[in-house]
Amino acid sequence: MFFEIIFKHEYNSMVVWLTGLSGAGKSTIANAIYHLVKSRMPELVIIDGDVIRELFGSGLGFHEMARCEQIGRIQKLALFLANQHIGVIVAALYSNMELMQWNRANLPDYFEVYVETSFPTLERRDSKGLYYKARVGEIKDVVGVDIPWNVPKNPDMVVCTDNEEFPQLIAAKIIKAVPRLAAAFGA
């Protein structure tokens, strides 16, 4: 019995990282994955970039170095949890290739999902007015406007959210593509 429990937990340790521009749907898809799988994989957690920023306070800016520091926090937390045999889903905007390479080299059973969305769709969904404010000069340090967005070079999966497909359908595609989620879900 003891060995079965250890095997089960080792089987579920992984990091699925959703990346894309603000408004692409990363958090929505991460939450859909979580709700579809959580009852069968209780050791599953979500790390959302916006939530982590709130937890650590608003002292961290949005310029590129601050964004790298933010991702560093998330990476450390994801590794900490994964090393305890926790399944981790990360939803975080970032565009630094070195950070992405670090993820692939250091996070166990890493699976990267690029949530691709066209800029017109992002602007249409922009509930915070982020892209509009950046274009008219009210704010700075917006990835995709005045901070370059580097499209992931080798993601494990690309999902496009331009067509307004239900998040649960996109989540189901990701679940089927990630062996550990698929096994837990029974896909």
What does the pLDDT look like over 115-144, one tens digit per residue? 999 999 999 998 889 999 999 999 999 999
| Residue 115 within a domain | yes
CATH number of the domain at 180, please: 3.40.50.300
DSSP secondary structure of the chain = -HHHHHHHHHHH-EEEEEE-STTSSHHHHHHHHHHHHTTT-TTEEEEEHHHHHHHT-TTS-SSHHHHHHHHHHHHHHHHHHHTTT-EEEEE-----HHHHHHHHHHSTTEEEEEEE--HHHHHHH-TT-HHHHHHTTS----BTTTB-----SS-SEEEE-TT---HHHHHHHHHHHSHHHHHHHT-
How many of the other CB atoms lie within 10 Å of CB of 6? 10
| Residue 86 within a domain | yes
- Position 32 scores a pLDDT of 98
pLDDT tier at 89 (50, 70, 90 boundaries)?
very high
| Domains held by the chain: number | 1
| Residue 176 within a domain | yes
Report the C-alpha gap between 102 and 136 in whole angstroms: 35
CA 92 and chain centroid, separation: 4
The pTM (predicted TM-score) of the whole model is 0.91
| Residue 28 within a domain | yes
The region of weakest confidence among 1-5, 19-23, 89-93, 179-183 is 1-5
Q: What is the mean pLDDT of residues 95-121?
A: 93
Across-strand partners of 140? none
| Residue 127 within a domain | no
pLDDT tier at 1 (50, 70, 90 boundaries)?
very low
| Residue 124 within a domain | no
| Residue 73 within a domain | yes
| Residue 36 within a domain | yes
Mean pLDDT over each residue of the chain, to the nearest integer: 90
Range of the domain at 166: 2-119+151-185
pLDDT tier at 162 (50, 70, 90 boundaries)?
very high
- Position 173 scores a pLDDT of 97
For 31-66, what is each residue's pLDDT tens digit? 999 999 999 999 999 999 999 988 887 678 888 899
Q: What is the mean pLDDT of residues 60-76?
A: 92
- Position 187 scores a pLDDT of 62
- Position 75 scores a pLDDT of 97
Q: Would you say residue 73 has pLDDT above 70?
A: yes
